[in-house]
Amino acid sequence: MSELEQAVKRLGKELGFDLVRITSLQPFFRDEDAALQRIRQGLMDGMPWFSEERVRKAAHPEILMPDARSIIVLAMSYYTREDEEDALPGSRGRIARYAWGDDYHKVMKERLHLFVGRLSETLDHPVKARIFVDDGPMLERAVAERAGLGWFGKNTMILTPTHGSWIFLGEVITDLVLEPDKPLLKNCGQCTQCIDKCPTGAIIAPYVIDAPRCISYLTIEHRGPIPRHLRPLVGDWVFGCDICQEVCPVNRRAEKGHEKAFTKRSGFGVLDLISILGMSDEDFRDRFHNSPIKRAKRVGLQRNACVALGNIGNPIAVPALTDALKEGDSLVRGHAAWALGRIATWEALLALELALAREEDQEVREELVFALETTAASARSG
């Protein structure tokens, strides 16, 4: 490694990145084929931005910046300290770890701009660069793999030897001519923990996720009703899911991260779902300002809260779900009906009957009828 590569890596570390590696601009043919196949098989349905055109561009990074010569990939750990939780027992909804702190897009982008600026100062000439953080045509995991930052886990995450998969990735395409790093000669071996423990069976084969079945997709990206057959499998997750990372043996040895922006905000590791149900748009904006959770939108998070409360099954949630049945958006009313049907106390059933007498939205009426019929059927069989 020459002095230039050393300077690049030193600067990345000084700015708080845990890992810094380099790769070439060579096309990513294997990953292009795999991504195109997944789109055609419907495994990326519901994510229209993940198009064939975007994949083609991403697999040929020379298109993204014609005079580019290298890609620097930088990673920051979000595996930070854990605190006590303060949500009400019986109404706790889990949040994926990556969303416990500030919005990583903003944090990583600002830091990468600083990195490029400092690099220009250090080298005493302007460095031309384009920056990506999970937001443009970039096969970021393929880039990280080829740069030797980590290897592809069977859960499709990049596993780094030191920080596991609890990392955010950022890429800088640059006109600097840098010697590429070599890929790691590592893989998951015989382990299948993530596949075995995925509650929805979304990892349909090693390295292949059926996105429409994945709790992360369902609770964050998906905009309509959560398919009924999947709701019980979502458990108490209301934003993302960490199960295939939590069970991963590589992650058990992961070093803790140091970035303050990613330490847990108070009350963010688990959310109090009853308070979520009562939120206005303004409350939502205030509470989730600069948080990745805002991506789910207020209605999506309330939909998810209903599903989690139905799965938790604690009658403490009945008054809040009854209010949601009266005042929520139609998507929330439909999921509140499902949750009340799962809790099935007499107060819950009364709320469902009263709602059915006044509800005009056809889809919500179907949810109400389904909730009442399934509780009646289980009472008969019980």
* Contact footprint for ligand SF4 (CB under 6 A): 153-155, 159, 188, 191-194, 198, 200, 202-203, 209, 214-216, 241, 243-244, 247-250
Q: Which two structure tokens, joined as six digits, stand for 337?
A: 């009906």
Strand partners, 95: 239
Smaller CB separation from ligand SF4, 95 or 248: 248
Radius of gyration for the chain, computed over Cα atoms and rounded to the nearest angstrom: 23
Contact criterion met (CB below 8 Å) for 170 and 112: yes
How many whole angstroms from its chain centre is CA 196? 20
d(CA 20, CA 209): 27
Contacts of 287 by beta carbon, 8 Å cutoff, 6+ apart: 279
134 is catalytic: yes
The residue assigned the tokens 């109090």 is: 272
376-to-331, 344, 379, 382 alpha-carbon distances in Å? 23, 9, 5, 10
Pairing of strands 92-95, 70-77: unpaired
Pair 257, 232: CB distance under 8 Å:
no
- 3-state secondary structure (DSSP) of residue 230: coil
357 secondary structure, DSSP code:
H
Q: Two tokens at 242?
A: 């960490």
Alpha carbons within 13 A on the beta-carbon side of 169: 26
Catalytic residue among 45, 134, 323, 329: 134
User: Is the CB of 153 or the CB of 310 nearer to ligand SF4?
Assistant: 153
> Which residue, 154 or 287, has its beta carbon nearer to ligand SF4?
154
Residue 161 DSSP label: T
Q: 75 near 132, Cβ under 8 Å? A: no
Q: Are 345 and 235 in contact (CB under 8 A)?
A: no
Residue 99's SS3 state is helix
Residue (131 or 194) nearer to ligand SF4, CB: 194
Per-residue CA distances from 38 to 52, 141, 192, 239 (Å): 10, 16, 21, 24
Residue 114 vs residues 63, 148, 306: alpha-carbon distances, Å: 24, 24, 42
Residues with a known catalytic role = 134
